[in-house]
Amino acid sequence: MDFATLSLVLGMAAFVGTHMLLSHPLRGSMVRRFGEQGFLGIYSLIALGTFSWTVVAFGKVSPTPQLWDGQAPLPWAIACALTLVAAALFLASLMGNPALAGTDVSGLSTRLPHGVFKITRHPMMSAFWLWGVAHILVAPSARTIVLAGGVVALAVIGSRGQDAKKLALYGQDWRMWMKRTPFWPKLSEFGRLGLFWVGAVPIWLLLTWLHLKLALIPAGIWLWLGF
């Protein structure tokens, strides 16, 4: 393993590891010591620093060799679909999401899930790991597997951590919510995203276009349109 790849691995490990430590075992003691705002400031600085380290290291690692041709029609089409779904899930996750930090879920056991929560109780985290899987599909190099794979791991483990934290805080309310909502996205329920699909399409088109303009790497339909 060359130095650039080692730096990338260490950077992503630091990003994921510090996120998990600060989100769960260390959060309570740090909030008591520094206050909520102080904790959020420290958390944000560490996240920004470790992710910046990872991104810089990523740029120094060769994008080849790749395990398969990620620009072939099939993996590219699957990745397009996954990122569009991720955009819709992310938008839906911003409204009435009891999994978000700081949300009071008292009385949740009396509510029946609707909309995106019939699909998954972790729509935001699902959006993140779908994004990661899509990037591995279209760029299956060592550097992408480390970066995007780290995001996938963080999103999945973070979802489990959210369940554990909410269960400890709210007991029966969250236990009933877990029984009524799936952890993994339920494909048969994706029609419940409704108008979020309408909002996701222009956002997806814009983000994939910016991907080409800023990262100089085509994404989405722009590969086929020759932009």
Question: 3-class SS at 118?
Answer: helix
For residue range 140-165, what is the model confidence (pLDDT) as tens digits? Answer: 999 999 999 999 999 999 999 999 98
For residue range 75-90, what is the model confidence (pLDDT) as tens digits? Answer: 999 999 999 999 999 9
User: Which residues in the chain belong to E strands, given as ranges?
Assistant: none
Side-chain-side CA neighbours of 78 within 13 Å: the count stands at 14
Any idea where the domains of the chain sit in the sequence?
Answer: 1-61, 64-225
**Residue ranges of the chain with per-residue pLDDT less than 70:** 226-227
CA distance readout (Å), 136 to 33, 109, 217 = 40, 38, 14
Q: What's the pTM value of the predicted model, to 2 decimals?
A: 0.90
